Amino acid sequence: MQVVIALGSNLGESSNTLAQATKTIEQLEQVRLLKQAPLYRTKPWGYADQPDFVNSAILVDTSLELHELYRKLAQIELDFGRKRLFKNGPRTLDLDIIWAQDTKLNDDQLTIPHPRAQERAFVLVPLSDLDPELKFPDTGLTVAQALSQLPPSELAGVTPFTNQQ
């Protein structure tokens, strides 16, 4: 099954963290990296008094059950020093399953597609680099269509990352 994982960080050396996290995910058994989006610098969402984020997304192929993949991603977050101090707060690493091929899932642990992915430029912009025609099974919108519905102010908060920043 193909799965999209969003990556984000705003504490420490975020670009290095995302590169190392991607390598760690790629080394998981039953997971194969298919494609990686470039890095973007993004404004914080929800809680503004924190550093900008670095975000990306990867497309993987996996035979893992989605809850097992979720548990493995949560462990990777912890291994990279993730502490959940408060909602939308700063973090060393955030890994979210955004989309899974032909899957709609909603239980007490996991909601797929991610419930707010279609409203957030920091998710949609890297996702459009992976596949702008990827379709969300809950709304039927493609990534490109969801992006076109965002206000320009939301899109302005997402810029290509350079190491000089």
Q: Could you read off the pLDDT of 83-123 as tens digits, one per residue?
A: 766 566 688 999 999 999 989 999 999 999 999 999 999 99
Task: Quote the pLDDT of residue 158.
Answer: 96
Q: Quickly state the pLDDT bin for 146 (edges 50, 70, 90).
A: very high
User: Is 116 an annotated catalytic residue?
Assistant: no
Between CA 53 and CA 1, with CA 140 as vertex, the angle to 5 degrees is 70
pTM of the shown model:
0.95
Q: Which residue has the higher pLDDT, 110 or 81?
A: 110
Domain residue ranges in the chain: 2-160
What 3-state DSSP class applies to 38? Answer: coil
Query: CATH number for the 2-160 domain, one of 2.60.40.420, 3.30.70.560, 3.40.630.30, 3.90.320.10?
Result: 3.30.70.560
**93 Cα distance to chain centroid:** 10
Q: Tell me which H or E stretch contains 6.
A: strand 2-9
User: Is 94 an annotated catalytic residue?
Assistant: yes
Q: Which residue among the candidates 32, 52, 84, 94 is catalytic per the annotation?
A: 94
- Asked whether the beta carbons of 127 and 57 are under 8 A apart, the reply is yes
User: Is 82 an annotated catalytic residue?
Assistant: yes
